[in-house]
Amino acid sequence: MSHPLLRAWYATSYGGIAMLPFMALLLVSSGLSEGEAAALLALTPVGLLVGGPLWAWVADRTGRRGWILRGAAALAAAGGALILVSDSVTGLGAGLLLFALATAPISPLSDALTVQLLRGDVGAYGAIRSFGSVGFLGAVVVGGAVGGLGTRAPLVLPVALLVARAALAWALPSPATAGATGVRPALPASKRLRWLLVAIFLHGIGLATYDTLFTLHLDHLHLPSWVAGVAMGTGVASEWVLLTRGRAVLARVGAGPLLVIALAAGLPRWALTGLSGQAWVMIATQSLHGLQFGAFWLAAVSIFSEAAPEGQENQTQALLTAVAFGAAYLASTGMNAALLSLGGTRTLFLSMTALSLAATLIALAVQRERGPR
């Protein structure tokens, strides 16, 4: 098993999805309204919500996870290429639909594969997954630098990385997996996991709001454009640091308490983002992204990997991804539209503080009920 190969896989995977922050501008410049562009961009979380669990069920049922990853990587590259070269709204929509559906199973199947290869060592998984953060940040920085060359220029590197990932898929190890004996898709069997999914859903709404509306918030505060780049770069850097230290953090804290800490990090982060108008505060508070995403993802993957029934490892990880980045992102769309109409972006981020409080209390109650690990 080659760690460099897995690192390259994650770097190209998350570098490839760095096309998404630039898609709205491309769609609007192609003649769509902002609302129509937002509706097309919603295809990605819809794909995660529907396609991720479906393909994960197929992977568990057939034991052919490797072939599904190869096919999905190839189709995602084809979708990205179609977006890059298409001059019509129809072509852009078709490319985005193909990209969304093909991308859906890659994250959960990749995570399940990596954890299996590492024999359940989620701390080591975090160090490998951190290369996804590096790939994403690098592609976004390059995209921002070449943005002045045209709306398609920022997509060139991400599409190239998608093509590279499609080639890497053929070299990925494909350990044998036992197909599930039943036909029913995996669902959380315990009350504990069901409540944790509720907390993760609420937490995911905050992450979605940050991903989609943080730059708009800074614009409303009349802050210089460089603040967004430095703030988001600070967030990704802190995420990388925490993921690379994942083994030590998990060993010292434990997955359950770490999840509570990660959810609680949203309280100061969203409160300060909503209350302050200072550039240095916007930058400093985004360092909490390391806890809010890096620690959250390490803890969640650890908990769900441990809880996965034999033969349903892919489905269990897909369920986590579908809730955190599928259902939560879709819910944030309607919720944020209503909040923006009521009070602007300050009200929006202060509302995320309330959701973080609810998520933290739920996770804390679950942890107390379970007791120390």
Local confidence pLDDT in tens for the 373 residues of the chain? 458 899 999 999 999 988 887 787 788 788 877 667 777 777 778 877 888 888 888 888 888 888 999 999 999 999 999 999 988 888 888 898 899 889 888 988 898 889 888 887 887 888 898 899 889 888 888 887 787 788 888 899 999 999 999 999 999 887 756 554 444 545 555 788 889 999 999 999 999 888 877 877 887 888 887 787 788 888 888 998 898 888 888 889 998 999 999 999 999 999 999 999 899 999 999 999 999 999 999 999 888 888 777 777 777 888 888 888 888 988 887 787 778 778 788 888 999 999 999 999 999 999 887 654 4
- Predicted TM-score of the model (pTM): 0.80
- DSSP per residue, 224-246: -THHHHHHHHHHHHHHHHHHHTH
Distance between CA atoms of residues 83 and 149, nearest Å: 17
Co-location of 155 and 236 in the same domain: no
- The two tokens of residue 144 are 């921002």
**How many structural domains is the chain composed of?**
2
Co-location of 360 and 319 in the same domain: yes
Instruction: Please give the span between the terminal C-alpha atoms of the chain, in angstroms, as a whole number.
Output: 30
Q: Assess if residue 13 is contained within a domain.
A: yes
In terms of residue numbers, what domain contains 150? 1-172
pLDDT at residue 137, as a whole number:
85
Co-location of 122 and 207 in the same domain: no
pLDDT at residue 263, as a whole number:
97
Co-location of 198 and 280 in the same domain: yes
Q: Assess if residue 180 is contained within a domain.
A: no
Q: Return the ∠ at Cα 59 (arms to 58 and 60), rounded to 5°.
A: 90
pLDDT at residue 140, as a whole number:
82
pLDDT at residue 373, as a whole number:
45
Smallest CA-to-CA distance from 331 within 208, 181, 155 is with 208
The CATH number of residue 293's host domain is 1.20.1250.20
Co-location of 166 and 58 in the same domain: yes
